[in-house]
Chain A
Amino acid sequence: MSGRDPRHVPPTLREALRQLSSRDERGFVFVRPDGTERFCSFRELGVEAERRAADLHARGLVKGDRLAIAVPDPDEFVLSFLGAVMGGIVPVPISPQLSFKNIEGYHDTVAHIVNASGASLLLTTATTRQFVDPIVPRAPKLRGVVTVDELGKEDHGRVDVAIDPTDLAFLQFTSGSTSRPKGVMVSHRNLAWNSESFMIHGLAKDSSFDKGVTWLPLFHDMGLIGFVVGTIFTDIPVVFLPTASFVRNPRVWLDKIHQHRGTITYAPNFAYALVAKRLKDKDVADLDLSCLRRAGCGAEPIQAKTLRDFAAKLAPAKLDPKAFLPSYGMAEATLAITFVPHSTGVRTDVIEKKSLEGGDAKPASSIEDGGAATDPSMRDADVQELVNCGRPFPEHALAIVDEAGNRLGDRQVGQILTRGPSVSAGYYEEPELTAEAFKKGPDGETWLYTGDLGYTVDGEVFVCGRLKDMIIVRGRNFYPNDLEWVVSELPSVRRGNVVAFSVDVNGPEGQGEQLVIAAEAFQADAEALKQAIAQAIVSNFSLTTHDVVIVPQGTLPRTSSGKPQRRKTRQLYLEGTLGRARAVQGKDGQPDDAGASA
């Protein structure tokens, strides 16, 4: 299946960009923080990328070498990323984002990614160089740090290395808060297939009028593949905004869609929530969003309510609610795994919450039929509304399996597996982690074990949660192990007496997942400790804690081996009984937090 090239797009990203070399009128618009715009036609993108490719070769890099890129400006990032790709060099995007915390954590992440990828060069900018220079002594294979203004200054002609579709195109380090992000190996063939899948089969793009508008970070798969790679493969112009501009003023996202008559955009749930909350009615009055025909949503659990609120807020701006395109994907599958059919909008499944805990997704209508809940608020508490994320693309497959790896039927909850030509070969130089996630499925073929839990109905997938209790807050992934470890470093908390989990909250940031920490400690300093825990989390992860619960020693539910059980703790918390009962023993051999996520 993966041995063929896709039919509707070129076989490599280099070929795709070269095919656009006559496009003078079409290309990318980069909006700067001050609102001014830089237009770069596809032809110019190609010319500058070839120039940078030749420069990188002149600096001694050869095909297959890795180039780490920590560049905040979208235009410079895109040109450098493409420059590496044109020369057969493997770009490794690194978050340039610095958050309001100590710099040490950032240095650790950069050093890890540079070392894990074996990068020869680290590319940055004159302003951000100060934040990456300190890692140089920690990266023995790194030959140097270069800034983008030094790149392509001299003309080194054009390099023409042979690039095969099976060659590695870039390394996508998975966003996450673990101390060890993993580099997903994405080949040209993966990119070509996934681009064809989501741009053509998913979005039904039309190059005669479609235009993307995005503020998504480009060091992340959704921004990079969704708007830089997929659009080059399919000749679609894009307007790029800096991520920080959107967060500072969410309105700019809609302004640019309005101004440029954008037809395609994409964002995680939290962004739709932010707009619904922050946008004033008077702001909406000036907007005409009737042009927007695809508003994708992915990268974190999708809340139907958030999208409904967004649609209601933007109804006066003629936003078509059928433009919403819920989807499911992950870096290990290049980007997209499933899309709903376009123009079907948000379709949901309302199920019994209790049935879900037991592994079935029973439609909630049976509650009403049985007359179990007459009070409507009770009914709300007993049901869960899940958003339909659609089905896999042609030549790709999806399966739901139980713990033993057997295929499950409709409405049975299990791990989501996917296979097909978009699925990566694995993690770069991580054979063990690769073997854990990419392995034989029920039919003997190799599948990607996504680690997500979900079920299907007539082939369409609903995502319920994460097998390993990964916590996703506002599009950022956190592993409980990491959060718990930091809390257990505090003087009054002991290792193994902390549980981190997430709950669905309708808070100031809109509806979404929020972090809760439960810790066993003596009650005397509970208030001070709560504060210390919240501070430790925010300073290490730049993450706000929704709630901290201090419980008496020995009251967290544990497995027989003495490990706290995250799911049971979460359940007790939601029931309001956490800390009231003595420890509850878990079932033998069923630790739900095997601790393997980090």
Chain B
Amino acid sequence: MDNFLSILFNSLQTGSVYALAALAIVLIFRTSKTTNFAQGSIGTLNAYVGALVLSSWGWSIWAVAPVSILTAFLTGVLIDTFIIRPAAKVNRIAKQIITLGLIMIITGITPFLFGVDPYQLPRFIPSGSVDVLGASLRFNTVFTVLISLVLMGAIFWFIQKTKWGLAIRVTASNEVTSKLMGVPTKTVTMMSWATAAMLGTLAALIIAPSGSVNPNMMFNVQVSAFFAGVFGGFQTFYGPVLAAFIIAFARNTTAFYVTDIWGDVLVYMVILVFLFFKPYGIFGKAPVKKV
């Protein structure tokens, strides 16, 4: 029971990290019609910024996090303005390749900016835990899960209930028509990239203390977030978030009961088999073939 509970608590934390990343990927998918492979790299880059500030000026993580989030916002805006917007006319696969190029640029630039040694980032709440039926639950876990849930709740509310949210939804469903109807699709797309970058960076800041800030820190998160997107279907905003928690639980369980390495391989295999039979996710529908 205590094992199960600690897996559950763990999964809530990793699940919220995956969910943040998945939400970011879906947001960009819906407004820019591409899967952003550089999502993880953008988060990593800004986590590095935070780690650098923390290690050179000795700020606390509470002061560093806003700095990272701010640079993430700027990264998103810059990427959209200089790369994504000019690429409006290229085809889907070429757009994907552009985001792959972003990975290369960011990966190549980090050693120049931040050196080759990994950095450490502390937890938001460094110590303290409460005992729940024999399993210990860190205050930090409670905090990060809560803040992720509140943030995602706010985003859902924003998308569903506000005028800007409506703009996002109509841009997602048909950009050309939206533009003709006077929706500022450019701003919508730019804000989606900025928001996605901030979500990814937050995910990176949450995951960093359990390892280090290094170029590959977001790889697993990224892969899981993609799976969450595919599993939940890119057509909805809530599907991927739900799927993120499911996959976090599945991963942690296999990692605990099977071996660490082969657990991941097993999960990927299951993903591929799943994709083969339900290529558009559990909530998604295959597009209608028009001849």
Decide whether A and B are members of one complex: no
Instruction: Give residues in A with beta carbon < 8 Å to B.
Output: none
